[in-house]
Amino acid sequence: MGTAALATLPILPTHALASPAYVLRPGAAEASLRGPDEPKTQVWVYNHSAPGPVIRIPRAKPVHIRVDNALPDPTTVHWHGIRIENAMDGVSGLTQQPIMPGASFDYRFTAPDAGTYWYHSHHRSWEQIARGLYGLLIVNEDTPVDVDADLAFIADDWRLDEAGQITEGFGALHEAAHRGRLGNWLTVNGDTKPKLNVSPNARVRLRCVSAANARVMAFELPGLTAHVIALDGQPLETPEILDGPLVLAPAQRVDLVIDMPGTPATFIINEVSVGDPIVAAELVVSGDALADRKNAAPLILPSNPLAQHQPDLENALHIDLLMQGGAMGGMTQATYKGQMFDMRTLVREHGQAWAFNGNAGKPVDPLVDLKAGQTAVIGMINDTRWPHAMHLHGHHFRVLEIDSKAVINAPWRDTHLMQPAERIKIAFVADNPGKWLFHCHMLEHHMAGMGTWINVA
Ligand code: C2O
Ligand code: CU
């Protein structure tokens, strides 16, 4: 389980013309989440491994991935962060019907931008991701980037009982109205405290992904200097030194570059979001030293086609999104499926605890209808006591403003972590036709109301 180095999926023989390049088989399996000496955990994963296999695809070339559903439940696969054709976005109930047990679905798409992405179930995601249905998706740069090691760091907090089994109670409403389902067992690449081996002087690219349902994780790398080179798959124009802990909200990605020292050593990567640090992984420097890069310039990734899709702020359409609800919030009522309910009835009878613009759950009508190519600016107010990881499908947006302060060099993101009471403005070009979900990636929040969609003509 848990490959630290990025092995790629075997490409199947292509004697049959129509054979897909990759086959993903979601199904039940066992995983050594707690280490080789502990009882195995029953999980739902892709291709028997937790996390699923690393999928590496070329940029700007069509790929074909078949999903054979070996689960007892329906499922879908979403390719998080890819500016994808709408019909391939994998959103159960919006862009496709779920894949029934025993059935298959062929995903065919072309990824326009290189970078670090992930794939995961988008059907009852609060349960299916918590059971392990996710994996790393890498879109290769056109020319390989000059690093000595390209390592996965996909973190998850599982909720395990004493026997090491995943606890049920998925989507419990009390949790959904608070932070969401928080786990009690941390893995990286499906392992407990894995050792990531690198050579002395190696320049390491660490692709950090959070697959947590709800926890906002934070990592420290004492003794190491790391540069942030990409956020949510998209390269930064100027790499930035990681200053303070690496904060990863659910679904966010951060690519780091770290130059290792020239002599053998072991560095701990700690998770520090709660009190005492927990060891997440170890970076073990050993073996023959590579050439010293101490004086080499920091790595800058080539820019993606996305960078040409700059928002036209002068002619933008402005939209407001008021986020309300949750425990200790002031929400008294909301519309659900076209009908108004008081908060108590909403929670008790409909399992809804959150609303966008007074509407709980995915509304019949989109938040906005946009013309292809139009720039949209969404002004969002988090009128709740909780943080939210807001994710827009099919597009990346630039965070222009936080609490009325302009953001310098506004980064491109597909998932932004909003703090309680925060107000932000995001902008994006609606250049991808279709129905795109816009939701909180704290999966229980989404389940309990925090989701809407936009329509691009
Ligand atoms: Cu990571 Cu709606 O998705
Ligand atoms: Cu949320």
At 284-323, the pLDDT tens digits run 999 999 999 878 888 999 999 999 999 999 999 999 999 9
pLDDT computed for residue 2 by the predictor: 39
Cα 271 to averaged position of ligand 1 atoms, centre (Å): 23
Cα 235 to averaged position of ligand 2 atoms, centre (Å): 26
| d(C-alpha 27, C-alpha 250), whole Å | 23
How many other β-carbons are positioned within 10 Å of the β-carbon of residue 233? 29
Instruction: Using alpha carbons only, give the angle 317, 320, 326 rounded to the nearest 5 degrees.
Output: 155
Q: Classify domain 150-301 at the CATH topology level.
A: Immunoglobulin-like (2.60.40)
**pLDDT cut 70: percent of the chain above it:** 96
Encode burial over 129-147: b for 16+ CB neighbours within 10 A, e otherwise. bbbbbbbbbbbbbeeebeb
Cα 277 to averaged position of ligand 2 atoms, centre (Å): 25
Name the residue at shortest CA distance from atom 3 of ligand 1: 80
Mean of the pLDDT values across residues 106-113? 97
pLDDT computed for residue 437 by the predictor: 98
pLDDT computed for residue 9 by the predictor: 52
Mean of the pLDDT values across residues 145-171? 97
Cα 409 to averaged position of ligand 1 atoms, centre (Å): 25
Is pLDDT at 48 greater than 60 in this prediction? yes
Mean of the pLDDT values across residues 86-103? 98
pLDDT computed for residue 21 by the predictor: 81
Within this chain, domains 22-141 and 309-456 share the same CATH topology: yes
Which ligand lies nearest to the CA atom of residue 391 in the structure?
Answer: 1
* Banded model confidence at residue 367, pLDDT cuts 50, 70, 90: very high
Cα 406 to averaged position of ligand 1 atoms, centre (Å): 27
Cα 391 to averaged position of ligand 1 atoms, centre (Å): 7
pLDDT computed for residue 450 by the predictor: 98
* Banded model confidence at residue 12, pLDDT cuts 50, 70, 90: very low
CATH number of this structure's domain 22-141: 2.60.40.420
- Which atom number of ligand 1 is nearest to the Cα of residue 446? 2
Question: What would the two tokens of residue 311 be?
Answer: 């928002």
Instruction: Using alpha carbons only, give the angle 375, 377, 379 rounded to the nearest 5 degrees.
Output: 170
Name the residue at shortest CA distance from atom 1 of ligand 1: 80
Mean of the pLDDT values across residues 260-272? 97
Question: What average pLDDT does the chain have?
Answer: 94
- Which atom number of ligand 1 is nearest to the Cα of residue 251? 1
Which ligand lies nearest to the CA atom of residue 121 in the structure?
Answer: 1
385 Cβ neighbours under 8 A, 6+ residues apart: 326, 327, 328, 329, 420
Which residues line ion ligand 2, judged by CB < 5 Å?
388, 440, 442, 445
Cα 203 to averaged position of ligand 1 atoms, centre (Å): 31
Cα 424 to averaged position of ligand 2 atoms, centre (Å): 15
pLDDT computed for residue 3 by the predictor: 42
- Which atom number of ligand 1 is nearest to the Cα of residue 118? 1
Which ligand lies nearest to the CA atom of residue 356 in the structure?
Answer: 2
172 Cβ neighbours under 8 A, 6+ residues apart: 181, 444
pLDDT computed for residue 173 by the predictor: 95
pLDDT computed for residue 13 by the predictor: 41
| d(C-alpha 90, C-alpha 251), whole Å | 16
| d(C-alpha 82, C-alpha 394), whole Å | 6
Give 53-69 pLDDT, tens digit per residue.
999 999 999 999 999 99
Which ligand lies nearest to the CA atom of residue 324 in the structure?
Answer: 2
Q: Ligand 1 site: residues with CB under 6 angstroms?
A: 78, 80, 120, 122, 251, 391, 393, 437, 439, 441
Cα 446 to averaged position of ligand 2 atoms, centre (Å): 7
Q: Are 177 and 207 in contact (CB under 8 A)?
A: no
Closest CA to 170 of 135, 214, 109, 107: 214
pLDDT computed for residue 275 by the predictor: 83
pTM: 0.95
Is pLDDT at 90 greater than 90 in this prediction? yes
CATH number of this structure's domain 309-456: 2.60.40.420
Which ligand lies nearest to the CA atom of residue 390 in the structure?
Answer: 2
Please list the alpha-helical segments (H only) found in 101-237. 125-128, 173-176
- Which atom number of ligand 1 is nearest to the Cα of residue 80? 1
pLDDT computed for residue 107 by the predictor: 97
Break the chain into its structural domains and give their ranges: 22-141, 150-301, 309-456
- Which atom number of ligand 1 is nearest to the Cα of residue 91? 2
Cα–Cα distances in angstroms (integers) from residue 286 to residues 205, 281, 283, 377, 379, in the given order: 17, 16, 10, 49, 50
Mean of the pLDDT values across residues 232-250? 96
* Banded model confidence at residue 14, pLDDT cuts 50, 70, 90: very low
Mean of the pLDDT values across residues 407-412? 92
- Which atom number of ligand 1 is nearest to the Cα of residue 439? 2
Which ligand lies nearest to the CA atom of residue 444 in the structure?
Answer: 2
pLDDT computed for residue 19 by the predictor: 56
Cα 389 to averaged position of ligand 2 atoms, centre (Å): 6
Give 187-230 pLDDT, tens digit per residue.
999 999 999 999 999 999 999 999 999 999 999 999 999 999 99
**pLDDT cut 90: percent of the chain above it:** 93
Is pLDDT at 330 greater than 70 in this prediction? yes
